[in-house]
Structure 1
Amino acid sequence: MNQIHPNYSIKIEERTDEILKWLYIGTNLPFWPEFYQYITHDLKTFQAKSILLTEEGNITGHVLLFNENEEILYFGFFGVFNHDKNKIGFLLNKLIEYGKLNKFSKIIGPVNIPTFIYGWGFMEKGSEASIYIGKPINPPIYQELFFHKGFTLKTKELSLEGPVIKLNSKILKSFTLENYEMFHPKSWEEVLSFKPIFFRLNTNLPRDSVITPGTQHLYENYVEFAKTYGGLFLIVFVKYKITGDIIGCFLSIPNPFRKNKSDVYDSCEAFIILLEKEHQGKGLGWLLALFSAKKGWDNNIRYNSTPIEKNVKRSIRMAKKYGLEHKRTHLILEYSI
């Protein structure tokens, strides 16, 4: 599909190897060749496409398109060179046109797959702009133009960040719930065997709170990334002793953009926490977080970032209690067709 404008034209690109060449336009996070295997996995999983914006034959803008069903069109890696207002507006119009032409009912994004590397949302003005895993960086002109075009706020995600506190056993014991047991998988093979459990736990999330679609297809990709840049300490499961069932998990992401003086990765992001509904509201979430922080410290992790939805006030208070500060805000937007 090609469309003409006095100054610009667009092209729909479906070839994965070609899409890989242009995703960098839509992110300020490092786009290293060593990440290609993780990116390619998700592009192929979703059969993603790109809209490429060209000016006089040169590609100057990009937006990624993908979907899990016929209802919602997701977009990611939206960007143009020099953040030119006219080009952003033109590409945005083509994104909306594509959604209408293909009869989607909503457009949601930005969701930059794989999200465990490139994250989601437009960064809000005033946010810290340092390089960190899963934290997109962009000037405010993007969300301003999206809002002007009729997009509305779906989710406001806060990043609470700071040094990892060295926790002593007394603090952990004060949170201990005697009917629950936290544990790390013994091997990466065991981690992979827990995929059905992860998928079952993930179904407990309210539909509106799910940002990344198709998580049942993405588990192995996350595991491979955690294995390459981190370790088993990043993955915690919780067992309910009375039944022996695994009823929760806490997954973190290693941050390959930061190392200590010994050339060791020393930071991470708390990626996802899942609990069975009947075990929620008992403090298990924070017990998992503290257990994970303790194990992180034991494995050289000294800095952590935790994404928390703005309306989850209790979690924000708890994060600040343990020394984390609100450093960044990202906006996930939606458009009803």
Structure 2
Amino acid sequence: MQILETRSKYSFIIEYDVKEFMKYIDLGTDIPILPEFRKYLIRSFKIYKSKAILLKKNIHDNIFNNNKGEIEGITIIFNEDPEILFFGFFGVYNHDYYKIDLMIKNLINYAKKNNFRKIRGPVNIPAVIFGFGFMEEGSSKIPFVGCPVNPPIYQKKFYENKFYSKYIEDTYKMAAFKVDPRKIPKYDFSDYEVKFPGKENIWKVMDEMIALHSSVMPEYSNITPNTIKNVQTLFDYIFEFGEEWMVWTLHYKPSGKMIGCGHAAPNPLSMDRRGRYDTARFLHWVVEKKHQKKGLTVLMYGSVSLEAFKNTSRTKLKYGNGPFGIKNEANIGFAKNKTMGVRTRRHIILEKMI
């Protein structure tokens, strides 16, 4: 623990001990922290060597003792690039605008003192559970993994401190239904095959999936830094709560090459009356550029749907949730036109030049 700055009413403390700042992490998220989620938080914080900036309210019980106090604000900071300071889990007690502003200014001062050129966030690692970005006003507040909830005062105060929008992501609520893609006359999928590696074989194809994702979606790949470091957390989470069909790969039969992939995240925050998970967040639909515009997203969706409805003992999908960058016209078009998708949320990643 290190004191960064002290004022008459508040002190800023940087906390290095993960177990210590985990005591206050709920200040930085409205997504319920299930007991099973805590190990993923701790693992991610340690992998990224995260620290926490804490806002402590000073309580003077006498003129000689200023050690007591309550933590009223938190943000997690980490960096993979010496020029970019990432922050996440930014929140203050009662969402007080004055304390939010204090926290932002201290974050900026920390970045300046440590020679960062940019500040970017919020990125709430692991993002598969806690998401990224501040929620735009008017978005759905129904609890869902990967979908932070916050009042608009946060964005307002960041904009007042000269932050700007770096990346905007819309989330669509999509119908979940079973369809056999090979029975759709419009498409010829005879040269393609969808596979489900499952928990036992995911590590054999992981490197290919990461390389394919990075080549097709470079903008998104720059939001959460060095995702390779934390990819085991992603897949461990998916297979702990989810199903084998939630990770898939797409192959071109003539060459045997993987030319597409995707994965979905289970949402343990929503269950039906029988205790089954009834929603999932479909995170990625990636297709190599030269194979695009051939309906292959339809092939992947249909193949996944057939698997999803085979065994519904633990997961029976009522609907899906799909996040897409606002420039991702192909996937947005698929969500709207093929799954009757309706935009329900928007999240904004902010950045500031130092």
Task: Tell me which interval the TM-score lies in, with the shorter structure as reference length.
Answer: over 0.9
Give the partner amino acid of 1:35.
Answer: F
> Offset of 1:17 from its aligned partner?
0.8
Does the 8 Å CA contact 1:250/1:289 hold for their aligned counterparts? no
Residue 16 (structure 2) pairs with residue 14 (structure 1) = yes
Q: How many residues align?
A: 336
Does the 8 Å CA contact 2:187/2:294 hold for their aligned counterparts? no
1:206-242: CA deviation from partner (whole Å, max 9, x where unpaired): 5433221111112211111111111111011011111
Does the 8 Å CA contact 1:240/1:247 hold for their aligned counterparts? yes
Residue 206 (structure 2) pairs with residue 190 (structure 1) = no
Distance change >3 Å, CA 17–CA 108, structure 1 → 2: same
Match of 2:224 in 1: 212
Distance change >3 Å, CA 184–CA 104, structure 1 → 2: same
Alignment of 1:47-62 (within 5 A): 47-56=49-58, 57-62=69-74
State the alpha-carbon separation in 1 of the partners of residues 106 and 185 from structure 2.
56
Match of 2:332 in 1: 316
> Offset of 1:169 from its aligned partner?
5.1
State the alpha-carbon separation in 2 of the partners of residues 11 and 172 from structure 1.
60
Give the partner amino acid of 1:121.
Answer: G
> Offset of 1:5 from its aligned partner?
1.6
State the alpha-carbon separation in 1 of the partners of residues 305 and 119 from structure 2.
36
Match of 2:139 in 1: 127
Match of 2:343 in 1: 326
Residue 217 (structure 2) pairs with residue 201 (structure 1) = no
> Offset of 1:136 from its aligned partner?
0.3
> Offset of 1:173 from its aligned partner?
6.2
1:39-67: CA deviation from partner (whole Å, max 9, x where unpaired): 11211111001100011210000001011
Give percent identity, aligned residues only. Answer: 34
Alignment of 1:1-337 (within 5 A): 1-2=2-3, 3-56=5-58, 57-168=69-180, 174-185=186-197, 187-210=198-221, 211-298=223-310, 299=312, 300-321=316-337, 322-337=339-354
Does the 8 Å CA contact 2:25/2:89 hold for their aligned counterparts? yes
Local SS of the residue matching 1:218? helix
Distance change >3 Å, CA 206–CA 103, structure 1 → 2: farther
Instruction: Decide which structure has the larger Cα Rg and report it.
Output: 2
Local SS of the residue matching 1:178? coil
> Offset of 1:99 from its aligned partner?
1.3
After the TM superposition, list the runs of 4 or more consecutive aligned residues in structure 1 that deviate by more than 6 angstroms: none
Local SS of the residue matching 1:320? helix
Distance change >3 Å, CA 276–CA 69, structure 1 → 2: same
Does the 8 Å CA contact 1:123/1:328 hold for their aligned counterparts? yes
Local SS of the residue matching 1:295? helix
Local SS of the residue matching 2:124? coil
**TM (normalized to structure 1)?**
0.94
Does the 8 Å CA contact 1:188/1:232 hold for their aligned counterparts? yes
1:126-174: CA deviation from partner (whole Å, max 9, x where unpaired): 1111101110000000001101110101111111004312324565564
State the alpha-carbon separation in 2 of the partners of residues 316 and 207 from structure 1.
17
Greater mean deviation of Cα atoms: 265-274 or 141-150? 265-274
Compute the RMSD of aligned alpha carbons: 1.7
State the alpha-carbon separation in 2 of the partners of residues 72 and 289 from structure 1.
36
State the alpha-carbon separation in 1 of the partners of residues 181 and 254 from structure 2.
24
State the alpha-carbon separation in 1 of the partners of residues 183 and 271 from structure 2.
28
Distance change >3 Å, CA 254–CA 174, structure 1 → 2: farther
State the alpha-carbon separation in 1 of the partners of residues 161 and 267 from structure 2.
35
State the alpha-carbon separation in 1 of the partners of residues 124 and 352 from structure 2.
17
Does the 8 Å CA contact 2:178/2:302 hold for their aligned counterparts? no
State the alpha-carbon separation in 2 of the partners of residues 275 and 167 from structure 1.
20
